[in-house]
Chains A and B, each alone.
Chain A
């Protein structure tokens, strides 16, 4: 079995009396596209900071590609690229200067070919010699992504990388990250856009109040938690409501069910009741519903 890209064992962290992380265990395999989800304040950033050595946990251990983040911090950090959640930048330098300096911190002397490639992929080539102060918020965020990649880390962690990035660029960014993933990089992502997580991540952990409350493949999570839905427009919506549906606008009534077998029965009962079916559509389970359900149960 190969070394996990990330191994987190029993990590807890308190800020005063606040428990930001309460004993987190997590393994992410090499080459995974992994989602770390949770409401505001769940501890996502704290966990990422512990991985990158910015936060020292009260207990537990963390390793990147088998390198302990404390005892073997040099190798751990060489293997890790982090895109921070906060939009930080150094106002003294241009984009290219910044990326060269960042490469230098990792001991890489001449890195211009790779820097050019990253800049092109992030659509920043025309801003390469602009001072950081002159960039828009979305551009600054893309520079943060670029900075995390200068040393070609096998493990890349992105803390809400698409906050404030416009639609077109978000697509571009995901294309780029997907390509990195195909090339073998392990990707860990936090986001509050659940459609993004659903489309991209093979496996997902949900965090609530510093604890992992769900951990599974995206497909399994959708299967396990989400209920399907059937929406029907009826001539007599009241009949539908009598059968357990919830009324929406314009004669629409929604039904929730767990397996497709139930649809047959439901439609039969609607016909028997003379509800008068006009239109219908099936709702696929989505991650947002799973998320809400998991958070409510936990």
Chain B
């Protein structure tokens, strides 16, 4: 038998998950970039002349990081959730359940593939936007850090949803009633300082707000709340979610009956 290397199983699963979306990248990368671009064109056309944020930042510039992060989050979620539910429904999930992969390797592969797809789409949206709008990037490491953490959180949620859902409409419900509202109400399209006091307070219970706010800090060097607070909240969220997902996988919930 050829030599076995540790983690080779994990690397293969990661490779397969990346190949899976890359083979249909027109649909999994190009389409979401176009989507975000349409948002940008419409909103900037309607609002740019009327609104500025943080004093002097043009609304379109302000909007770009929000759209980028929204793309990262949505695509990270879509990647793990759709891969898992498809594998479960077609039955080919057994090909990853029969080999000697640990549940940790399983988790890491699905989540990292999700992060990669999120980053690819995010980078695409950013690159295309930069052709139309001037987007500063004050702290690239903060940008990257929040993108990765946000992708990891949504990738984990995708694993949970993909394993929990038995039909595509259950997955759609998860997306429409949880992911979408939390994203839309997180300040993708606005600074929460433009909200009434009550809604500002409510926003502070939405972890997505901290993801986007911290991400935006990386671009403008300013944000609605301290980036360190955002990092703490987002980091804690990830740790809790990872623990939950790993516990689910360890028990074999809905995978090993």
Contacts and interface: CB of A to CB of B under 8 A. Distances in A.
A89 B100 contact: no
B2 A111 contact: yes
B92 interface: yes
A104 B95 contact: no
B2 A105 contact: no
B5 A109 contact: yes
A86 interface: yes
Contacts of A21: none
Contacts of B196: none
Interface stretch (A52-60, A254-262, A273-281): A52-60
Interface stretch (A77-85, A182-190, A219-227): A77-85
Contact of A104 (B3, B12, B256): B12
Interface string B242-256: 000000000010001
Contacts of A105: 9, 12-13, 95-96, 99-101
Interface string A100-141: 011011111111000000000000000000000000000000
B12 to A, nearest CB: 3
B193 interface: no
A54 B6 CA distance: 23
A108 B97 contact: no
Given A56-B252, A91-B90, A110-B2, A104 B100 contact: no
Interface string B99-113: 111100000000000
Contacts of B1: 108, 151-152
B98 A77 contact: yes
A52 B98 contact: yes
Contacts of B8: 104, 107-109
A268 interface: no
A147 B100 CA distance: 14
A89 B93 CA distance: 9
The number of chain B residues touching the other chain, given as a range, is 20 to 34
B94 interface: yes
Given A90-B95, A91-B90, A106 B15 contact: no
A74 interface: yes
B11 interface: yes
B15 A88 contact: no
Contacts of B16: 101, 104
Interface residues of A, number: 33
Nearest to A82: B98
B9 A107 contact: yes
Given A88-B90, A101-B16, A110-B2, A55 B257 contact: yes
A51 to B, nearest CB: 10
Given A104-B12, A107-B8, A109-B2, A86 B98 contact: no
B9 A92 contact: no
Contact of B256 (A56, A75, A90, A151): A56
Contact of A54 (B12, B23, B256): B256
B9 A53 contact: no
Given A54-B256, A56-B257, A105-B101, A88 B94 contact: yes
B113 to A, nearest CB: 13
Interface in B224-257: 252, 256-257
Q: Which among A89, A105, A106, A147 has the highest number of chain B CB atoms within 10 Å?
A: A105
A106 B91 contact: no
A84 B90 CA distance: 13
A52 B96 CA distance: 12
Contacts of B167: none
B4 interface: yes
B20 interface: yes
Given A54-B97, A56-B257, A86-B91, A92 B23 contact: yes
Interface of A: 52-56, 73-75, 77-78, 80, 82, 84, 86, 88-93, 101-102, 104-111, 147, 151-152
Closest 10 CB pairs of A and B: A104-B12, A105-B99, A88-B91, A107-B4, A74-B100, A107-B8, A77-B100, A90-B92, A88-B92, A108-B2
29 contacts: A53-B97, A53-B256, A54-B94, A54-B98, A54-B256, A55-B256, A56-B256, A74-B100, A80-B98, A82-B98, A84-B91, A84-B94, A89-B92, A90-B92, A90-B95, A92-B19, A101-B15, A102-B99, A104-B11, A104-B12, A106-B4, A106-B9, A106-B100, A107-B8, A108-B2, A109-B2, A109-B3, A109-B5, A151-B99
Given A54-B256, A101-B16, 4 more contacts: A78-B100, A82-B98, A84-B94, A108-B8
